[in-house]
Structure 1
């Protein structure tokens, strides 16, 4: 087994992945398993987690376990973190990937959908951090990864609750960094994927009456997982998953007038398909 654990004590790295049942979380769990980590898998859907646990063991995990955990429930997060630490006496890596999407302008978004998006994406990340950071500080070492989004750096039309939540996740990561700078071996990593081909688009809480697709260029979740693992190993603070992200952020920052008038409307067109278009495509495929 390859050794990746750099803190006190024997054994493989102990990693928790929050939101591990699908998408980026699933791919990250398998990538950490391939290093020989002990991998704890957290999500609401235990049945899906059991499948991921089998994949992790097949990939080479030192061990893999599943825990039902809703990031909206503070006590569930507290219990899951305590269980993860209790299994091997420490936590080395925690990756927070849980998130949901809703579409629609701010006045169109259903109040409950908007609340769920902000609560899950932002307050869920804060809840995870609130229970993980004290463990890392007590150990005086360890890494917390918050998976944000390119949309935590730029503004786009028709996704206000999601964009606000991801800007908040980026702010949270920055706050955690400055609050823990006194411990050089406690690391907070913010990873910002662009478009990723995951189930999050199929499961979107859509208030805009469209079928949603990730705007191009689209990365597979396995590519994002590799970026996350490299960021952990290199103790990076903030990472984009592609050069396209960097170019879009630069345009948003340098020429906001052009972004607002040109890039925003283009994004809206490429990230939505009308239900009529989707029906036509389904009939053509069928």
Structure 2
């Protein structure tokens, strides 16, 4: 008989009245997540670079049911700003129950043509922002004896494609960092450390990414709503687990990558050129990576046209069939080899 562990399970949060901090809350996944927690009557602390869009999101969240919303403009690359963010939350509400590290920027371009300052900024925002936020809130969680940390990574945290080297590197880094923190918090059973991995989402990040390809870009289909990621994040806050994936059809790609890495590497460049890089010329520029861009502070990117959804569904069926045939073939070969 196997002995049961006596260590308590990681506890979730009763979201009614909970204190939730979200970085990158002015657009896309962060904005959708704020709306979702507001509908659960959580008290919110919303952070992003620009004050005006945060005020818009705060008003939306109050209308959605949040009893109290605090906005804190900050740049996540500033470690001291995270310390001040924690202090503002604790001063206002007495505690922090859920912390969502979500802020991110993106760039398209080859390694040679992407400026150093763009790559550096992407790693600072996407990875160091997660590290500094985590470092700031963990002492509060330890004092309280509980809390849920949720770091937003990506499908790009498991597989890579051409033209997004800085973004992929940062998202791989988030997963490694999150695993390390989870191990370090082994002695704090009331504290949960989670990661969420979205696939392509219908957010403005693609329109406003830095671009050094000379062509307009678009997300790799199928494209899902950021509301799905928000639901996954809220579910992690209630019922913590190590990892949640959003966009299951796209995550079939990670299976193919794991089983046939060489074939994946051979196919990825052509696929990216075919489905993600458009024909329309686009001037090179930093997008919203360096300066904030008010146009990027929206919930949706409006990539999910009916035609695109139909194509995505067909691609999903084909991908599922191919993955099934591949797994069946591997299983058959293994069985034949065992005889």
Q: Normalization by structure 1: what TM-score?
A: 0.91
* Larger RCO, structures 1/2 (Cα 8 Å, 6+ apart): 2
* 8 Å CA contact 1:158, 1:268 repeated in 2: no
* TM-superposed deviation, 1:277: 9.2
Residue 90 of structure 2 corresponds to 85
Which residue of 43, 68, 77 maps to 1:38?
43
Residue 182 of structure 2 corresponds to 177
* 8 Å CA contact 2:43, 2:66 repeated in 1: yes
1:254 is the counterpart of 2:259 = yes
Q: Normalization by structure 2: what TM-score?
A: 0.77
SS in 2 for 1:119: helix
C-alpha distance in structure 2 between counterparts of 1:123 and 1:35, whole Å: 30
1:132 is the counterpart of 2:140 = no
SS in 2 for 1:72: coil
C-alpha distance in structure 1 between counterparts of 2:22 and 2:58, whole Å: 11
SS in 2 for 1:219: coil
Runs of 4+ in 1 over 6 A off after TM superposition: none
C-alpha distance in structure 2 between counterparts of 1:237 and 1:74, whole Å: 25
* 8 Å CA contact 2:13, 2:238 repeated in 1: no
1:241 is the counterpart of 2:246 = yes
C-alpha distance in structure 2 between counterparts of 1:223 and 1:6, whole Å: 20
Unaligned runs of 5+ in 2: 1-11, 284-339
Q: Which structure's CA Rg is the greater one? A: 2
Which residue of 74, 92, 99 maps to 1:69?
74
The within-5 A match list for 1:16-55 is: 16-55=21-60
Residue 219 of structure 1 corresponds to 224
Unaligned runs of 5+ in 1: 279-286
SS in 2 for 1:181: helix
C-alpha distance in structure 1 between counterparts of 2:24 and 2:269, whole Å: 29
* TM-superposed deviation, 1:269: 2.3
Residue 119 of structure 1 corresponds to 124
* TM-superposed deviation, 1:212: 1.7
* 8 Å CA contact 1:210, 1:273 repeated in 2: yes
* 8 Å CA contact 1:117, 1:165 repeated in 2: yes
Q: Are residues 88 and 255 of structure 1, via their aligned partners in 2, closer, same or farther at CA, if it must alter by over 3 Å? A: same
* TM-superposed deviation, 1:268: 3.4
Residue 265 of structure 1 corresponds to 270
1:106 is the counterpart of 2:99 = no
SS in 1 for 2:186: coil
Task: Give the alignment's Cα RMSD to 1 decimal.
Answer: 1.7
* TM-superposed deviation, 1:80: 1.1
